[in-house]
Amino acid sequence: MKRLLALSILLVPLLALPVQGQTIRWVDFDVPYESLHYALEQDIATVEQEKHIPWIDTLALAACRTGGKCPLPSVKKAAAELKQDKSPEELLGELHQYYAYYHQAYSAVLGGLVGSYAIEKDGQWIPSYGLKAFSPIAAGYGYSHCDDFGAARSFGFRRKHLGHDLMGSLGTPVVAVEGGVVEALGWNRYGGWRIGIRSFDSRRYYYYAHLQKDRPFAPGLKEGDLIQAGDLIGYMGRTGYSDKENVNNIETVHLHFGLELIFEESQKECNSEIWVNVYPIVRLLSAHTSSIRGDQRLYPYQDLDTELFPGNAGAPEEETAMDRH
């Protein structure tokens, strides 16, 4: 009976997955930090080996067997199996029908976090491979946080908290987790002073809210700007919950950090937007922080996996700045 119950719990989320080829309409990102960390370690450790094990491949394989829960033992097993010569299809059997969904979903969530990058030190560009995204909080600044995704909120209307709050000190530098295009910059009644940044592959929309009163943004930042991961974008505050601009109506100084997935453009602003829990991602990124001195980052940085940024192969000729959240 217990075995039958466990099987039914696993099959319920699997049966809800879209048929291959359909646009993804929802993603429950339930991968724990420990599993993310282990899959990342295996990715980095094997990048120069004949059999490279990308972390998204590992997580997608584990997700098929666990309904997306990906506990650490399942991830360790998946990584070990992928080091052999068998394909995911051979390893999964009938469960392989769900592999494409999980791979696409996890690629949307994690696609810009790992890869090739270079940092300039003492006039030398030092290339590397690994975690290329940054914690949203600059190096040397403390903060506290907990898993608060989905908690109740009541300002304006009753709703769920579709982001992650990091509590810190007023004026703490906030940096871009991933590079991209600034699509939104200004005030809204819920987020106060906020910034919205779209990743270069257009799959991720990062939302940074409740920024500092009077001086919310990095000097000169404007809609349409292209930025690199780790660039200074603003300062932590407690603005928002007001139709009037530049008002502190939030009790606690904190950064609201959110991540929306966009598989087709109609999903960006609608009644069924896909926001995912970034708590485990923030924990992972805490090991990679950007050093800020004054209003500038200390070490210049280049994402080597994109040609969309000046200094690589040129910037796009034109970008559309969209008002968002």
For residue 116, give the 3-state DSSP assignment.
strand
Tokens (6 digits) for 25: 């309409």
Buried b (16+ CB within 10 A) or exposed e, 87-120: ebeebbeebeebbbbbbbbbbbbbbbbbbebbbe
Predicted confidence at residue 322, as pLDDT, reads 27
Domain chopping of the chain, boundaries: 2-110, 131-303
For residue 305, give the 3-state DSSP assignment.
coil
Q: Which residue has the higher pLDDT, 314 or 220?
A: 220
Predicted confidence at residue 218, as pLDDT, reads 98
Query: Model-level pTM?
Result: 0.87
For residue 231, give the 3-state DSSP assignment.
coil
Which of 232, 229, 236 minimizes the C-alpha distance to 209? 236
Mean pLDDT in residue range 170-178? 98
pLDDT tens-digit series, residues 121-160: 888 899 999 999 999 999 999 999 887 766 656 455 454 6
pLDDT tens-digit series, residues 252-274: 999 999 999 999 988 888 778 89
* Candidate from 68-72, 241-245, 302-306 with smallest mean pLDDT: 302-306
Contact between residue 24 and residue 105 where contact means Cβ atoms under 8 Å apart: yes
Contact between residue 210 and residue 191 where contact means Cβ atoms under 8 Å apart: yes
Predicted confidence at residue 135, as pLDDT, reads 98
Mean pLDDT in residue range 206-223? 98
What are the two backbone dihedrals, phi and then psi, of residue 173, each rounded to the nearest 5 degrees? -65, 130
| CATH class belonging to 131-303 | mainly beta
